[in-house]
A = this chain, B = another copy of it.
Amino acid sequence: MVIYDITDDDLRLRVARFLRSKGLKRIQKSAFIGPLTSSERANLVAGLRRIVRGYDKVNIQVFPLTEASYRRRVVIGVDTVHEDEESIIT
């Protein structure tokens, strides 16, 4: 799972696109999830570091989740995610 706080609109969009290109799925506006091996996760982290280099006000956290953690998650409320990214960054 990847969660992020990114102030810059363009950068936030680039990070979201990068995560999607790596096969992750959006579960909230600033949260993506997906099945990655350890080496894929390391590549993902390296790619994220490259993308955000030079920006401040960026915080990204990458959590390796177990299958059990994912299965036992509780979702409250409606799906607030719109795949039209342009609407998310407004």
- A residues lining the B interface (CB < 8 Å): 1, 3-5, 7, 27-31, 45, 48-49, 52, 55-66, 68-70, 72-81
Contact = CB atoms under 8 A, between A and B. Distances in A.
B61 A75 contact: yes
Q: Is the interface of A mostly helix, strand, loop or mixed?
A: mixed
A48 B60 contact: no
27 contacts: A3-B3, A5-B28, A31-B31, A45-B74, A49-B76, A52-B77, A56-B77, A56-B78, A57-B78, A58-B80, A59-B76, A59-B77, A59-B80, A59-B81, A60-B75, A60-B76, A61-B74, A61-B75, A61-B76, A62-B76, A63-B65, A63-B72, A64-B72, A64-B73, A65-B69, A66-B69, A69-B69
